[in-house]
Each structure stands twice: as structure tokens, then as C-alpha cells.
Amino acid sequence: MRYSSEHKQQTREKLLATSGALAKRGGFTSTGVAGLMKAIGLTGGAFYNHFPSKDDLFTEVVRQELCNSPLARLASQGASRERLGRCLQQYLSMAHLHNAEGGCPLPPLGVEIARADLAVREVAEHWLVELHKAWAATLEDEALAWVLISQCVGALLVGRMLASQAVQSQVLDASRTFVEKALNETR
């Protein structure tokens, strides 16, 4: 039975969304094609109607997740320094720390992106360079933009590595204080 191109596109979008959520929750490489397809109610064989390989799916997952992240939306809207500060305070929150599936893809997928094929790393690099350009323009400081990107992603990653909520809070509190101080001192 042939499906319409609209149905095929809807299935592809569902596969991308589900794969992104699964990857951020438990890792992309740990979930096989059969598991990804089962999550959307299809058989593993149907996967190849949508992507030539699992690596191609990961490239698209990374592209979609990065482009749909709150940081990307903030960068594309040309945020003020104050708005950037508010966004980073939300980014460095316990709510975000405990929502890996619905949050920024960099902390949960960063290691997998680093180990991935060149195509995946190029997608991530393109996005990070664009994010950096936007933040550097807002901050009028290229180095500070890289430092804040690294600080925020790193703080979330370290926080998720910790077992106790008290220590997680300490990491996030320290990072929020650092970000606020950095934003206020460079005016």
C-alpha cells in the first residue's frame, strides 16, 4: 500500500520529534532503529523510507533540536542584553535541569555530537557560530559570548551529573551569579 507524500512527511516529522526526545532522555546511540520506529508505532523496516541511515537521522535530529531550542529563538529575535540575561537565568534553572527531554539539546547530546560524523558536527558548529554571532552583537564582546555559551551548557551538564538537588542548586546558583555579574560588568 502506497502512502501519500503528506503522510510520509508527517511520519518523518513524528520520527524526528520522537527521536529528539528519546536522544535527549537516554542517548541517541543507545536506541536502535527498531526502538525508534516502535516509539512511533511502526516497524524498523519502514525507517529506510525516511532516512538512508541512522547517522542521517541523527544529523537531522541535531539540526531540528538546535534550531528549535530557546537559545536559537532568542538569538534569531535579536535580544537585548536584559532579555538575554533573563533567558540565561531561566536556562540555568532547576526546571530546565530536570527537563532534559524538553530542554536544550547541547547538554544531553554534546558528547554524542562530538563523537558523531563530520556532517553532524558541522550542523552543530554552524548553529553555535550563529548563536555566538547573535550574542556577540548583543554583548559587543565576542569572547564573552563564547564564555557564556560554554558556562551555561557546562553548568547544566555538571548539574545533571550530580545526585543531590542541594549540590545541583549550588552549581546553578553559582552559574547564574557568574552570568549576571559578567553581563553587568561588561556594559
The residue that leads in pLDDT, 181 or 44, is: 181
Q: How far apart are CA 18 and CA 111, in angstroms?
A: 20
158, containing H or E segment: helix 142-161
Same domain membership, residue 35 and residue 75: no
**Domain tally for the chain?**
2
- Per-residue pLDDT at 49: 84
Give Cβ neighbours of residue 59 (< 8 Å, ≥ 6 apart).
116, 117, 119, 120, 123
Within a domain: 60: no
Same domain membership, residue 36 and residue 91: no
Which of 21-30, 122-131, 160-169 is predicted with the least confidence, judged by mean pLDDT? 21-30
Q: 30: domain CATH number? A: 1.10.10
pLDDT at 167 over 80: yes
pLDDT at 113 over 80: yes
Kindly compute the dihedral angle of the four CA atoms of residues 11, 13, 18, 19, in this order, to the nearest 10 degrees: 100
Find out whether 91 and 79 touch, Cβ atoms under 8 Å.
Answer: no
Same domain membership, residue 93 and residue 45: no
| Band (107; pLDDT cuts 50, 70, 90) | very high
Kindly compute the dihedral angle of the four CA atoms of residues 136, 71, 21, 50, in this order, to the nearest 10 degrees: -70
- Per-residue pLDDT at 127: 92
Same domain membership, residue 131 and residue 42: no
Last residue of a domain, one of 53, 75, 93: 53
Within a domain: 151: yes
- Integer angstrom CA distances of residue 155 from 91, 127, 142, 150: 10, 20, 20, 8
- Listed in sequence order, the DSSP H helices in 68-141 are 70-76, 81-91, 94-97, 106-115, 118-139
Q: Which domain holds residue 17?
A: 5-53
Same domain membership, residue 177 and residue 99: yes
**With b meaning 16 or more CB within 10 Å and e meaning fewer, what string describes 150-170?**
ebbbebbbbbeeeeeeeebee
- Integer angstrom CA distances of residue 86 from 12, 26, 48, 53, 149: 35, 29, 42, 39, 14
Same domain membership, residue 48 and residue 70: no
pLDDT at 21 over 60: yes
Q: How far apart are CA 16 and CA 19, in angstroms?
A: 5
183, containing H or E segment: helix 165-185
Nearest residue to 75 (alpha-carbon basis) of 18, 165, 137: 137
- Per-residue pLDDT at 3: 67
Within a domain: 59: no
